[in-house]
Structure 1
Amino acid sequence: MPKNKFQEVIFTIIMVFFMVYAMICYNISLNTGSMTNRVFLDAFHELVIMGPIAFILDFFLVSKLAFGCAMRMVDFKNCHPFSRILAISVPSVAFMCPLMSLAATILFKDAGNQFVAVWLQTTAFNFPMAFFWQLIYAGPIVRFIFRHIFPEKENAKGTAATM
């Protein structure tokens, strides 16, 4: 979808917002034992911390790893676009979930000498939510928003004009 570095930055910012905000809401709900309207407000406080961490991890590390994995799974030139999306999204979640769970364990959990166990438990709780949220909601919503910010016609004209 993104055609240049600027578009990659915008796409990553939008994806980080949708994924991280939802995962923070989910984790606050797990920690408090209930989902309340207050969770939506409280999540913004953590988003200020976790959002930049997610952006840095995704933009500089995970997106490259996920794309590399995807290139080994499918032939990008001949596959259906949905296969391409799955091939990138699945490794992205597989890498981001443990990394973001690690960050959350370090920053928000008092794990003490049970650090590894708490991190693994956090990852195990987060993975199903992150996986399905990404594939069913966040991914499609972000791609929809991105397509409306950067329509393909505009991208094609911009590319042709610079040649």
Structure 2
Amino acid sequence: MPQNKRESLIFTVIMCFCMVMGMSVYNVARVHGWQLDLGVVAEAWLGFPPAYLVAMALDVLVASRFAKWFAFRFLVTPGKSAPFAIMLAVSTMMVFPMVLFMSLYGAVEAVTHTGDIAMIPAIWLGNIPFNFIAALPWNLLIAGPLSRFAFRSAFPEGTVLAEPVAR
């Protein structure tokens, strides 16, 4: 787990990349009748940059604050709970607001192709269960472990300082 704000930001960049890319491929494949081919991956990649920027902003400004507040208020106690339990609680709680907001983003993005703004609520509400069912295991079983491995491989414990070194 990240130990300071700098580590947290670096980890968020990595984790957000894994989640947005995975969920983008999942949603494009779902729209294309659950087929997974290079065309689906290419379409997901083309839609990735704006989705990534929106997801990063939501993560930093809304979701992580909610997840930590909820997890530390109702699920775990810092200093008493095991680090694994804290990681599991916060990671799980991140899924709820991110699925709600990114499903709305996906609905708005889908409507840009059709132009039927009245369909946004129906598409949004239809996306939520599909995205939740995919995002929770993707977060806990694939993106989370992969991101933690990549983060600690690139930045071993204690190598990212909380404050820059004065010269």
Encode CA deviations 1:116-143: one digit per residue, 9 max, x unaligned: 2211111111111001100110001101
> Whose helix fraction is larger, Structure 1's or Structure 2's?
1
Over the aligned positions, Cα root-mean-square deviation in angstroms equals: 2.0
Q: Following the alignment from structure 1 to structure 2, what is the Cα–Cα distance between the partners of residues 48 and 158? A: 29
8 Å contact from structure 1 (residues 111, 118) kept in 2:
no
Q: What are the ranges of 5 or more consecutive residues in structure 2 without an aligned counterpart?
A: none
Encode CA deviations 1:7-26: one digit per residue, 9 max, x unaligned: 22211111111000011100
Q: Structure 2 length as normaliser, TM-score?
A: 0.87
Aligned counterparts, 1:12-161, within 5 A: 12-33=12-33, 34-72=35-73, 73-109=75-111, 112-154=117-159
Encode CA deviations 1:78-126: one digit per residue, 9 max, x unaligned: 2122211111011100110010000111122355323222111111111
Aligned identity (percent) is 34
Q: Structure 1 length as normaliser, TM-score?
A: 0.89
Q: Following the alignment from structure 2 to structure 1, what is the Cα–Cα distance between the partners of residues 15 and 116? A: 29
Q: Following the alignment from structure 1 to structure 2, what is the Cα–Cα distance between the partners of residues 114 and 102? A: 11
Encode CA deviations 1:25-57: one digit per residue, 9 max, x unaligned: 001101111111222222111111100000000
Give SS of 2:159's match: helix
Q: Following the alignment from structure 1 to structure 2, what is the Cα–Cα distance between the partners of residues 158 and 95? A: 28
Q: Following the alignment from structure 2 to structure 1, what is the Cα–Cα distance between the partners of residues 5 and 81? A: 24
User: Shift in Å at residue 145 of structure 1?
Assistant: 0.9
Q: What are the ranges of 5 or more consecutive residues in structure 1 without an aligned counterpart?
A: none
Aligned residues: 160
**Looking at both structures, which has the greater relative contact order when contacts are Cα pairs under 8 Å and sequence separation is at least 6?**
2
User: Shift in Å at residue 158 of structure 1?
Assistant: 7.5
